[in-house]
Amino acid sequence: MNAKWLIAPVAAAALFVSGQASADLDLAKKSGCLACHGIEKKIVGPSWKDVAAKYKDDAGARDLLIGKVKKGGKGTWGPAPMPPYSPRVSDANIEKLVDFIIGL
């Protein structure tokens, strides 16, 4: 099989994934998430990679994190509270953000 037939779909998938990640980061910026969270670095709240690692094998993590983003919370990662993001951020966008975080 010709190698270029294998490379094109892989390259297209990589562009889609990187484009989606860019859209998710834009959504995170617009929603105010990056004021307190870094992808790889703790700011006020935990890094999103640390969140993804903590909940990696937790089947209920998605629903738990969606609830935390919607309602806010405190105590899981230290004393700094996380404000509620619902209804300021739509439920659909909160789900997109949580999916992005879990996928890191």
How big is the chain, counted in residues? Answer: 104
**72 and 82 in contact (C-beta within 8 Å)?**
yes
- Total-model pTM: 0.78
Query: Span 3-102: which CATH code?
Result: 1.10.760.10
Q: d(Cα 101, Cα 95) in Å, to the nearest integer?
A: 10
DSSP string, 6-71: HHHHHHHHHHHHHHHHHHHHHHHHHHTGGGTB-SSSBSSS--HHHHHHHTTT-TTHHHHHHHHHHH
Q: In Å, how far are 8, 40, 84, 102 from 37, measured between CA atoms?
A: 35, 9, 15, 14
Instruction: Spell out the per-residue pLDDT of the chain, length 104, in tens.
Output: 445 444 544 444 443 344 566 788 899 999 999 999 999 999 999 999 999 999 999 999 999 999 999 999 888 898 999 999 999 999 999 999 999 999 98
Domain boundaries, the chain: 3-102
